[in-house]
Chains A and B, each alone.
Chain A
Amino acid sequence: MSVTVQNLTKRFGGRREVVGVDEISFNCPEHRITSLLGPSGSGKSTLLRLVAGLEVPDAGAVCINGVDITNVPVRQRNVGFVFQNYALFRHMTVAENIAFGLTVRKAQKAQIQERVAELLSLVQLSGYEKRLPDQLSGGQRQRIALARALAIRPKVLLLDEPFGALDAQVRVELREWLHRLHEQTQVTTLLVTHDQEEALELSDHVVLLRDGKIEQAGAPTELYERPANAFVASFLGGATILSGRVVRGQALFAEEGLSTAVDLAEGSIVEAFIRPHDVRLAKVKGGTPAKVARVERLIRIGGFVKLAVALPNGDRISVQMPQHEFLEHGIEQGDSVLLDLRHGQVTPRLSYSI
């Protein structure tokens, strides 16, 4: 089942002055995971609630498999919704929680029991039937919430920051688990997240939002490699945006601190989205002041080292390299270095607003 959203608009506030979602259109391909990615306040959760029917749009339409369901009430939409804080029924056991959707559909008892057992084994929590939600860990609650949503065989699965409340390790485990689960169930899934890693790792399609509008939508690699604008570039992969000028076939940034060959007209103003691992650096003594940068700060994180580097013109850029490479260079704080752009997207600058 594919989900299509057309010109969806939702405003909040007494005079409808706060824009939640602003004329958004996108498509979630069938059997795939689509991520709604964006910073907090970007409207991604509102969008998900609009698809579920928990909010009523001011304009626009939501279609599942080509059928307009904008005016269908929540309970008839047959969507599975997993809330950020799980929203398990606290007074019901795990089995009763999972069975709820089937009980209100008046399914037969034997059938319900069978389905509950099936789902519990799917989420790897067989034997937990009699537990209350309060007796489960965060990760277990999340899996029960998923099982409950899947019990009704939903047309679409909607996940609202499903790993938001979990600690880092559980989050990574559950992410992999969700990926395997999706391969088994093949349910079209919409995933809301603010975590770019989560979106890039889990989804086949990413919709990046800001302030209720879509900044860019497409395959994760497409967004990552060809960001449509500075926001996309900095949100995905933490790119630094530098502007420079083309001189003799070379785009020069931060005086001559960074340069790369380009096929652009002499004198064009250009913009580069530079990610921390796009930059190589080499220690230097002396050198042309216009080319020399300085290492201001070193942060070691496991197998990686992050460096804050001040460019010749004073701009700062963040560089990341593997530990072994760092050790080979023998760089220390305060060292002078030369930078080399290994890879980076350089585009002609559209607006001249320096």
Chain B
Amino acid sequence: MTGVAVKRTSAEGLHHHERPALSDPVLARRVLIFLALAFVAVFLGLPLLIVFSSALKEGFGVYLAAISDAETLSAVRLSLLAAGISIPLNLAFGMAAAWLLSKYDFPGKSVITTLIDLPFSVSPVVAGLMFVLLFGANGWFAPLLSAADIKIIFAVPGVVLVTTFVTFPLVAREVLAVMQAQGSDEEEAALTLGARGWTVFFRITLPKVKWGVLYGVILTNARAMGEFGAVSVVSGHIRGETNTLPLHVEILYGEYQFASAFAVASLLGLLALVSLVAKHWVEWQAARRRTGDVIKGAAT
């Protein structure tokens, strides 16, 4: 943001009419590029490099052993499970919420719109504590749960629950923005042509918002795999049972098994890279569609 602002003011101040209005003196441009790159290198590139180099410091054998360790694999499984459950849940709730908020007007609509963002505005640790207060041994639902012999806190269901909670806004937000931008004319046209609600949803609405949905899913996946705070509160850190990947990294690090800790961390690092590439691809696809429309629209 600051980069853009600086660019504008310097160009306005100079009034060199033979140059395009927004081009800067070469020096200013180089300095800005250097600063941006240096920042990225120190704060993002270096840590990632350290993760991978530390992971491989004691040799590839140790690395392989660390990531194929039974407890690591269990953590991988739990992380995948948490993501695998929270993604479809968020997909369903997120789409429903976005549909509701973009197509209908009702009292309390703005309250719901604000509440959707609650998981983002609350600290993950607090989110975890909320669930402990609800489902924990002394929580509100404790009598019910113990009667039915269901364990949520310090067990897998708790991990899945908080993961779903902290990732909730991601799909809803993305899809809502796309739906609001596109309006409901096409849906109305489909209705007049005789389509039922579900037909309208699957044949008109879903294709319209698919890039928004996919983007939301990628973000949900990244957050679900990487969530630490909220999961840490409800998991109980039981090895081989309620440890997710980030929790496992912390335990290994706490036990001075640095190579193993970094090896497992490198898995999360890889996931982040894959997510970034996927996210970029989806944005590129969506933008290509949009600019395509603009160009063709302008031609008419």
Contact with A along B186-204 (1 / 0, CB 8 A): 1011111111100100011
B204 touches A85 (CB 8 A): no
Binds A, one of B150-158, B236-244, B290-298: B290-298
B185: Cβ under 8 A from any A Cβ: yes
A105-B191 CB under 8 A given contacts A85-B185, A87-B185: no
- Distance of B178 from chain A, by nearest CB (Å): 13
What is the size, in residues, of chain B's interface with A at 8 Å between Cβ atoms? 23
Query: Could you tell me which residues of chain B, from 272 to 300, have a CB within 8 Å of some CB in chain A?
Result: 292-293, 296-297, 299-300
Query: Could you tell me which residues of chain B, from 154 to 190, have a CB within 8 Å of some CB in chain A?
Result: 185-186, 188-190
B77: Cβ under 8 A from any A Cβ: no
Given the complex of chains A and B, what is the CA–CA distance between A212 and B192 in angstroms?
24
Contact residues in A for B191 (Cβ distance below 8 Å): 54, 74-75
A201: Cβ under 8 A from any B Cβ: no
Given the complex of chains A and B, what is the CA–CA distance between A152 and B192 in angstroms?
10
Contact with B along A78-108 (1 / 0, CB 8 A): 1111010101111100000000110011000
Residue of A nearest to B207 (CB): A91
Contact with A along B232-264 (1 / 0, CB 8 A): 000000000000000000000000000000000
A101 touches B208 (CB 8 A): no
The total number of A-B Cβ pairs within 8 Å is 72
Residue of A nearest to B197 (CB): A75
B194 touches A134 (CB 8 A): no
Binds B, one of A135-143, A230-238, A304-312: A135-143
- Distance of B179 from chain A, by nearest CB (Å): 14
B296 touches A135 (CB 8 A): yes
Query: Could you tell me which residues of chain B, from 205 to 219, have a CB within 8 Å of some CB in chain A?
Result: 207-208
Contact residues in A for B195 (Cβ distance below 8 Å): 75, 100, 104
A79 touches B194 (CB 8 A): no
Residue of A nearest to B210 (CB): A91
Which of B185, B188, B193 is within 8 Å of A100, CB to CB?
B193
- Distance of B182 from chain A, by nearest CB (Å): 9
Contact residues in A for B188 (Cβ distance below 8 Å): 54, 74, 81, 83, 87
A136 touches B300 (CB 8 A): yes
Contact residues in A for B203 (Cβ distance below 8 Å): 100
Given the complex of chains A and B, what is the CA–CA distance between A77 and B191 in angstroms?
10
A105-B194 CB under 8 A given contacts A134-B296, A138-B300: yes
Given the complex of chains A and B, what is the CA–CA distance between A74 and B193 in angstroms?
8
Contact with B along A45-74 (1 / 0, CB 8 A): 000000011100000000000000000001
- Distance of B223 from chain A, by nearest CB (Å): 29
A54-B192 CB under 8 A given contacts A87-B186, A104-B199: yes
Contact residues in B for A53 (Cβ distance below 8 Å): 192
- Distance of B205 from chain A, by nearest CB (Å): 11
A148: Cβ under 8 A from any B Cβ: yes
**B: which residues have CB within 8 A of A?**
107, 185-186, 188-196, 199, 203-204, 207-208, 292-293, 296-297, 299-300
B185 touches A101 (CB 8 A): no
B189 touches A89 (CB 8 A): yes
Contact residues in B for A76 (Cβ distance below 8 Å): 194
A148-B193 CB under 8 A given contacts A89-B186, A137-B300, A138-B300: yes
Residue among B185, B189, B292 having the largest count of chain A Cβ atoms under 10 Å: B189
- Distance of A276 from chain B, by nearest CB (Å): 34
13 A-B contacts, Cβ less than 8 Å apart? A53-B192, A54-B192, A75-B191, A75-B193, A77-B192, A89-B204, A90-B186, A101-B193, A101-B194, A134-B292, A149-B192, A149-B193, A152-B194
Contact residues in B for A54 (Cβ distance below 8 Å): 188, 191-192
- Distance of A69 from chain B, by nearest CB (Å): 13
Which of A78, A79, A91, A141 is within 8 Å of B208, CB to CB?
A91
Given the complex of chains A and B, what is the CA–CA distance between A88 and B167 in angstroms?
34
Query: Could you tell me which residues of chain A, from 30 to 55, have a CB within 8 Å of some CB in chain B?
Result: 52-54
A74 touches B192 (CB 8 A): yes
Apart from A75-B194, A101-B194, A104-B193, what are 18 other A-B pairs with CB-CB below 8 Å?
Answer: A54-B191, A54-B192, A74-B188, A75-B195, A77-B192, A78-B194, A87-B185, A87-B186, A88-B189, A89-B190, A100-B190, A101-B193, A104-B195, A134-B292, A134-B296, A136-B300, A138-B300, A141-B300
A83 touches B293 (CB 8 A): no
A83-B185 CB under 8 A given contacts A89-B204, A91-B207, A134-B292: yes
Contact residues in A for B192 (Cβ distance below 8 Å): 52-54, 74-75, 77, 79-81, 149
Given the complex of chains A and B, what is the CA–CA distance between A104 and B297 in angstroms?
29
Contact residues in A for B297 (Cβ distance below 8 Å): 134
- Distance of B108 from chain A, by nearest CB (Å): 12
Given the complex of chains A and B, what is the CA–CA distance between A192 and B185 in angstroms?
17
Which of A14, A78, A81 is within 8 Å of B189, CB to CB?
A81
Given the complex of chains A and B, what is the CA–CA distance between A287 and B185 in angstroms?
62
Residue of B nearest to A141 (CB): B300
- Distance of B296 from chain A, by nearest CB (Å): 4
- Distance of A240 from chain B, by nearest CB (Å): 39
Contact residues in A for B207 (Cβ distance below 8 Å): 91
Contact residues in A for B199 (Cβ distance below 8 Å): 104
Residue of B nearest to A145 (CB): B189
Given the complex of chains A and B, what is the CA–CA distance between A90 and B210 in angstroms?
13
